[in-house]
């Protein structure tokens, strides 16, 4: 059996995600949340909930000191998280 349309798995996956942009967006969001949960043990210890709604990352923290520190660096964090997700997934971060 001769294959005439052989392509790499990466190429096939890219074609699949290009045809389904909503799935690609959800995959990027999951990548971003996963990165948040692996950023630092100090941050994940005090994080109780992380979700994205309307292009805003919502993070619930139990430490007021950490919340204050992260609020001062929120723009830089958004840039870093978007870079790790592979595109512009969030526009802002809200700490609760």
pLDDT tens-place string over residues 70-82: 999 999 999 999 9
| Three-state DSSP state, 90 | coil
φ/ψ bin of 7: left (φ > 0), alpha (ψ from -120 to 50), beta (otherwise): beta
Query: Looking at the DSSP assignment, which residues form a beta bridge with residue 53?
Result: 56
pTM of the model: 0.83
pLDDT in tens, 16-57: 888 888 898 999 999 999 999 998 898 999 999 999 999 999
Q: Which two tokens stand for residue 93?
A: 């971060």
Nearest to 57 by CA among 81, 22, 73, 87: 81
């Amino acid at each position: 059996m001769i294959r005439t349309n052989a392509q790499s798995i990466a190429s096939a996956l890219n074609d699949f995600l290009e045809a389904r942009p909503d799935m690609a967006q959800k995959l990027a969001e999951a990548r971003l949340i996963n990165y948040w949960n692996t950023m630092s043990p100090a941050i994940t210890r005090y994080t109780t909930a992380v979700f994205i709604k309307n292009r805003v990352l919502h993070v619930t923290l139990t430490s007021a000191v950490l919340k204050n520190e992260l609020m001062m660096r929120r723009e830089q964090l958004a840039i870093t998280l978007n870079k790790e997700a592979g595109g512009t997934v969030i526009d802002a971060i809200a700490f609760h």
